Each structure stands twice: as C-alpha cells, then as structure tokens.
Amino acid sequence: MRLRGYFTPIVQYARTLRAISPVAQQRFEGSTMFTDTSLGQQLSSQCRRSIPWQRATPLIFSQHQCSAFHHHSVARDLAGKRQELAHSIHTCRCLNQEMGTVEGTTQGRILKGKEYTCIQAELLEGGAIGLITLDRPKALNALSEALMKEVLDALQTYDADPQVGAIVITGKDKAFAAGADIKEMKDKRFVDAYASRFVFHWNSISAIRKPIIAAVNGYALGGGCELAMLCDIVLAGEKAMFGQPELNLGTIPGIGGTQRLIREVGKSRAMEMILTGKHFMDAEEAAQKGLVSRVVPGSNDALLAEAISVGKQIAQQSKPVVALAKECVNAAYEIGLQEGIKKEQSLFYATFALEDQKEGMQAFIEKRKPDFKHK
C-alpha cells in the first residue's frame, strides 16, 4: 500500500483551503467503519470531497491501519506537519495516540500536555465525561479569542476520545460568560474582522459530534448566550440570566444570536431582547420559552452535579447511536420537515447495521440492561 501518494495531496489541499478533516489516530478496536475500503482509498476520497472540511466525517483508523502508517513512515510525516497546520487551522486538528492521556487530581483527571490558561479541562466519571470550565472570573469569563481557541481545542480533543460520551461546559464563579471580550474588539476595523473571519470558527462548536451540555450559572450575555445556544442541552441555575445587549455597544450579535434566539423564544421576544439591548430573560422564563431544558435549584455545585448526571445518562447509551440522534435533531434547524423525516428514516435504518441495535433489542426482550459495545 503506497500511502505517501495519498497523503501528499491532503497536505497540499489543506495549505490551499487552510482546513483539513480531523484525522484521529486512535485505537478503536473492533470498529466496523471502513472495513471494506482501503486506507489509501479513504484518504484519497477525503481529499477529493467538495464539501467543507470541517463538516467532513472524521476518519477513525483501526490499530492495524495505524500500524501501517508507522511502517510506511506516514505517521512521522504527519507529526512533522502538525505544528505547521496548528497555527492556521482552528476547527480541525490532527491528534496522535497520546492525546487522551491524563493526570489524576482530587476532582478529576486533567488532560496531559494541554497548557490551558483561560479554561480548566478535566475528565470525570472514569473518562466518560469531559468537563470544560471557563476560567476568567475577574472578567466574568468574557470570551476572548484565546479562551475560545482553548474551548475548541478541548472540545475537539474530547470529541476524538472514544471513552468520552458527553461534554459539560460551565463558567467559574458568578457568571457563565458575560459576553465577548470588548477590549479585544474595540479597535478592530471592518477589514480586520472580515479578512480574519473574526469569530467565524466559534460556530464550529456545532460540528462536535458528542453531546454538549451547558450548565449556565449567572450571566450568559451576548457571546455567552450564543455559546449556550451552540450547546445541545442547557441547564440553568436559579440566578441564570440570558440576554443579547450588543446594540448597546453599537454592534449586533455575531455568533448566531439573531438566528438561533428567534428559533428558541420566538420572533417578538427575540426582537425585544436584541433591539433594546435590555429586557434580559431570567431562568424561569428561559425554561418556559424553551431556551433551557429546566432550572436546577440550589448552588452552582448542584447545577454542575446535575449536568454531569445528565452527561452520565447519555454516556451509558450507544455512542454511535447518540451521534446519529444528535445529527437528526440538529438537521431540523437546517432543512424542512419532509427532508428531515427522510434523513431521520435513513439514519434509523442505518442503526440496524450496528451490533448495539441487536444488543439493545435483545436486552429489552430478556428484561436486562443492555451491554453496548459502541459499534
């Protein structure tokens, strides 16, 4: 198998488009994905795709295929390109086998080799839950460019880890996130924002396949509200407050606020929040409108514990089936009802190719708990 001939065009294509599909060299023993297709064909096909790279399905290599990488020296070439690509690629990363190693702490296990300064990233519940804590309490966890790069990096790391079943995002102390970092933005010109595609890559959070649960404690304003809406499930503490005050700063929401808020709370309420820059929504109203799933009474610790509990329930399900279900639900944002039903049925049929579907139904008949193998 001559792998170099297939790998070279991918690097060249990445340099041209400044984006590359995530290639996770991870052991996924027993994986049924790509069993009838050679690795060279996979890479070649991936290179020829015309769809945006960040929306492409990540490649999952078996242990045998990773060994083939090593024997043909492609792994060494990939490692050499990783540092070069990391500076220009925000939404996708090439991760090696060691990316999932962790160090023990009293609360969880911190990702080893990750030197985050704006967030805390831990693996909890035996590695089943990835926790991200926004850690700029003096700035009410304002979303700086550095913080969001770290959030995306941690999300992509968790997404590539086969042990992680769900991800929780929360804020430290009094706020979830009180908006974007105004000090960073105030001197930007149109050409600066447009040429650099400022905040564009933040929306790549929606491409994460594993469920993301937001535990919103305190203020979620501007970019903080938009970050919460990018998550799949939102749990609110009693003191949570949601709003889009960008017009008070002479600008408008720029990370999906005008598009997602109307889908969550309706046109009139969204218009009131956005156009006045005031009339924030408290936790109870947010639950009534459907912006959040529910309000969790008690302290921030109780809120976080409940978010982790929900994550554990999700992590116990079949991981590929969870990913299919999330894809179906999110498709409702993008396509009409009839097309959505067609997509749902297609992916429903696809579940019958999974061992977990056979195990789940057999377990139901035998009145026992299913033992999913995530394949």
Residues tagged active-site = 180, 223, 226, 246
CA-CA-CA-CA torsion sign (28, 32, 33, 39): positive
CA 320 to chain centre: 15
Contacts of residue 271, Cβ cutoff 8 Å, sequence gap at least 6? none
The full DSSP string for 168-184 is EEEESTTEEE--B-HHH
Q: Within 13 A of 187's CA, how many CA atoms are on the CB side? A: 2
Residues with Cβ within 8 Å of residue 188, at least 6 apart in sequence = 198
CA distance 222 to 318: 35
> CA-to-CA distance for 176 and 239, rounded, in angstroms?
11
* The amino acid at 32: T
What's the token pair of residue 204?
């790549």
User: What is the b/e burial string over 29-63, where b = at least 16 CB atoms within 10 angstroms of the residue's CB?
Assistant: eebeeeeeeebbebbeebbeeeeebbebebbbbbe
From residue 290, how far is each of 234, 236, 249, 284, 312 by CA, in Å? 10, 11, 27, 10, 23
| Angle of the 319-334 helix axis to the 355-365 helix axis, nearest 10 | 110
Count the Cβ atoms, other than its own, within 10 Å of residue 117.
9
Structure tokens at 374: 């995530």
